């Protein structure tokens, strides 16, 4: 018989080790990201210096050519020029040649520094990606050990099935959390950082350029805040559209697909057949998520130019069709770990419905969902 206290002690010790390792990996990722940003700025400065020194070298080379020609002219006719003129011609030619040599050496050093920074950026980017991937795996293990493993263990007796089921749930959760954190980091968080940076510059602009330039900067700042606010609202809407509770499935789908079309610049056609009536909340949420997942899959993976969505609400069932004109795929060789389709199948199974996927390479994909009421 398994000693549960000893098992809990082992899990707790493992949790501490995994948690510390996860924090260390996160620190490595953040330090690498900060160095990456610093090197990007330095690379931009070095590239500017290279361009400037090339331009300066070209000008000096032109002057040196003229000085050499002058020296050749003087050398051919010493009797026509004074000693001072000969001396000046020789010194000018020599000075320009020395300047040209110094500039060429400086250009070589700058190019070597530029190449070194570019190689370092490539290595840092690989380090960041590996650290993020490893941190995600560590989070899966951490969450599995801290919560899901114990909770699932109370229900599922078979250890192998318990592990497989628990890991699938956590991986799906981590994928969604990673997606959400990436959207916030690349969208509102980045925008807020820019707002903070530019807000610190407004006082300096006011002092150096006057009130008009400062007001222009404030107007640009206001635009950035509006864009960031819109992005935050979009993320919130993706998490849980409030219109679903207030208006129901059909109006919410119509609004979501219109926003999706505008935001991603892809043609989306929505058609509703039958009465626009409310159905139980658990059905509305599940059906909305299935349409959302199907449309996002068509946009992200199928490279579609047009997506068509049709929903028909009947007294005994709901029928949903999601069709795209994308590149299609082989339905017999679905990749393991495709959480989008996996999630749709799980939702359909929970509602005791049927999910049918028809796809042809370079023709498109049609997803049919039938859920009994």
Contact 249, 284 (CB under 8 A): yes
pLDDT of residue 233: 67
Contact 60, 101 (CB under 8 A): no
Those residues of the chain that have pLDDT short of 50 are 1-2, 152-158, 162, 165, 336-337
pLDDT of residue 68: 84
DSSP 116: H
| Of the options 1.10.10.10, 1.10.1740.10, 2.40.37.10, 1.10.287.950, the CATH number for the domain spanning 4-155 | 1.10.287.950
pLDDT of residue 209: 78
pLDDT of residue 155: 45
- Tokens linked to 148: 């899901």
207 Cβ contact list (under 8 Å, min separation 6): none
Q: How many residues does the chain have?
A: 373
May I ask the CATH architecture of the domain 246-372? 2-Layer Sandwich (3.30)
- Give 144-195 as a DSSP string: IIIIIHHHHHTT---HHHHHHHHHHHHHHHHHHHHHHHHHHIIIIIHHHHHH
pLDDT of residue 31: 85
- 306 bridge partner residues: 267
pLDDT of residue 166: 53
What confidence tens digit (pLDDT) does each residue in 335-373 have? 544 556 777 887 888 888 999 999 888 888 999 999 998
pLDDT of residue 369: 94
**Cα 68 from chain centroid (whole Å):** 56
Q: Which residues of 204-227 are buried (b: 16+ CB within 10 A; e: fewer)?
A: ebbeeeeeeebeebeeebeebeee
- Give 15-67 as a DSSP string: HHHHHHHHHHHHHHHHHHHHHHHHHHHHHHHHHHHHHHHHHHHHHHHHHHHHH
Contact 301, 364 (CB under 8 A): no
């Amino acid at each position: 018989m398994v000693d549960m206290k000893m098992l809990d002690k082992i899990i707790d010790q493992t949790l501490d080790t995994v948690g510390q390792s996860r924090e260390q990996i996160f620190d490595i990722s953040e330090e690498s990201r900060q160095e990456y940003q610093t090197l990007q700025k330095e690379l931009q400065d070095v590239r500017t210096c290279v361009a400037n020194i090339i331009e300066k070298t070209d000008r000096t080379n032109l002057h040196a050519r003229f000085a050499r020609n002058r020296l050749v002219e003087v050398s051919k006719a010493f009797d026509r020029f004074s000693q001072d003129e000969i001396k000046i011609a020789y010194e000018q030619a020599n000075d320009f040649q020395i300047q040209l040599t110094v500039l060429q050496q400086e250009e070589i050093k700058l190019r070597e520094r530029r190449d070194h920074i570019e190689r370092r950026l490539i290595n840092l980017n690989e380090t960041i990606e590996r650290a993020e991937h490893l941190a995600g795996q560590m989070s899966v293990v951490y969450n599995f050990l801290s919560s899901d493993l114990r909770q699932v263990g109370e229900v599922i007796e078979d250890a192998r099935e318990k592990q497989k089921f628990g890991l699938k749930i956590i991986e799906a959760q981590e994928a969604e959390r990673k997606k959400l954190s990436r959207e916030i980091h690349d969208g509102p968080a980045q925008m807020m950082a820019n707002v903070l940076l530019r807000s610190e510059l407004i006082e300096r602009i006011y002092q150096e350029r006057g009130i008009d330039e400062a007001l222009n900067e404030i107007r640009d700042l206001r635009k950035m805040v509006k864009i960031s606010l819109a992005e935050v609202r979009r993320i919130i809407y993706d998490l849980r559209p409030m219109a679903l509770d207030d208006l129901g499935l059909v109006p919410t789908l119509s609004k979501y697909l219109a926003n999706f079309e505008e935001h991603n610049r892809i043609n989306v056609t929505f058609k509703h057949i039958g009465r626009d009536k409310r159905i139980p909340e658990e059905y509305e949420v599940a059906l909305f998520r299935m349409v959302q997942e199907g449309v996002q899959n068509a946009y992200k993976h199928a490279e579609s130019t047009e997506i068509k969505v049709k929903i028909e609400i009947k007294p005994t069932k709901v029928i949903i069709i999601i069709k795209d004109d994308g590149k299609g795929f082989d339905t017999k060789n679905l990749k393991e770990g495709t959480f989008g389709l996996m999630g749709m199948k799980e939702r359909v199974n929970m509602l005791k419905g049927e999910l049918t996927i028809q796809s042809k390479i370079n023709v498109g994909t049609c997803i049919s969902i039938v859920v009994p009421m």
